[in-house]
Structure 1
């Protein structure tokens, strides 16, 4: 797929206060959102930071994985044949361009912040909580985006965004 045709999709769940994590874990338990994440990411390539990788602990089935780390010695251990390692976000995006499906940005906060300007789409879970946390989703200038779909549940809203200016094929 030509890079210009490839979607870069940020997939994230964040609380009202933009919290996405605390102590390397998600500070809520919403099984239906895990199912939503799986449905949105199957067949695609996940780009994530090393701390996000550590919190998951393994490659997710049906998806390619690129882990971003500044540590030149870091290795995914027993999963080395299933995981690509990049030492910068641009390197990770270049690797992802060679792998199947869309490039899905899967966290954490620093990776979201560094890829926001490259994203063409966002699939955000708005969690109806305001927990304490130490990892945050970046501020987004929503004037650059249009909401294309919203599904509301008791505990959350799933919201699909598309960057303004994309043609119908974007």
Structure 2
């Protein structure tokens, strides 16, 4: 077991860094959903309230740490913790791996704390109201990439990009 705290931002974003519109995804990529599940399964996930509310129900075998400014916000589910700042969320991560899963504002705040970024780059542009922050190539470098062409289940081609911090 890795005994060091590791914070990973995970997202799927269009070429223009589009993430979503009206609190919904802009595409349906089943293989990306499978990858998200495989990477986050068994780990803590930090998210904003709107991201959490976009799920039909909490995702199985993951602790959901929900960041909201609403002091009265409550979630009645064992796998959900409500906090009121990103710092408070990060304080709940001990010597373990955790994922920042959105939305746009949480990604902006979380980038400075992230050790890695798992980005699915969807090769198209979209009309969106939420965006992933631009990745600064002075700070981040691609350490792995895997291209996935569009097919009968995937309307867009996309690339899995793993970024690590430059030293």
- What is aligned with 2:85? 88
1:58, CA displacement in angstroms? 2.2
Matched, 1:133 2:135: no
Structure having the larger proportion of residues in strand: 2
Q: Please, which of 136, 148, 153 is the counterpart of residue 153 of structure 1?
A: 148
Give the 3 Å change call, closer, same or farther, for CA 57–75 of structure 1 in structure 2: farther
SS at match of 1:56: coil
Paired residues, number:
160
After superposition, the C-alpha distances for 1:89-139 in whole angstroms (9 at most, x for unaligned) are 0001112337xx412000000000001011001100000121100000012
Give the 3 Å change call, closer, same or farther, for CA 91–2 of structure 1 in structure 2: farther
Matches within 5 A, 1:32-47: 32-47=31-46
1:43, CA displacement in angstroms? 1.6
After superposition, the C-alpha distances for 1:24-70 in whole angstroms (9 at most, x for unaligned) are 10011111110010111112110000000000132211211100000
**After TM superposition, what 4+ stretches of structure 1 lie above 4 angstroms from structure 2?**
none
Give yes or no for contact 1:66–1:96 (8 Å, CA) kept in 2.
no
| Unaligned segments of structure 1, at least 5 residues | 166-170
| Unaligned segments of structure 2, at least 5 residues | 150-156
Structure 1 CA distance for aligned equivalents of residues 55 and 102 of structure 2: 11
Q: Please, which of 150, 162, 165 is the counterpart of residue 163 of structure 1?
A: 165
Give the aligned CA root-mean-square deviation in angstroms: 1.7
Structure 1 CA distance for aligned equivalents of residues 134 and 144 of structure 2: 20
- What is aligned with 1:9? 8
SS at match of 1:59: coil
- TM-score under structure 2 length normalisation: 0.90
1:149, CA displacement in angstroms? 0.6
Structure 2 CA distance for aligned equivalents of residues 2 and 94 of structure 1: 18
After superposition, the C-alpha distances for 1:126-170 in whole angstroms (9 at most, x for unaligned) are 0012110000001221221121110001110001111112xxxxx
SS at match of 2:102: coil
Structure 1 CA distance for aligned equivalents of residues 89 and 2 of structure 2: 16
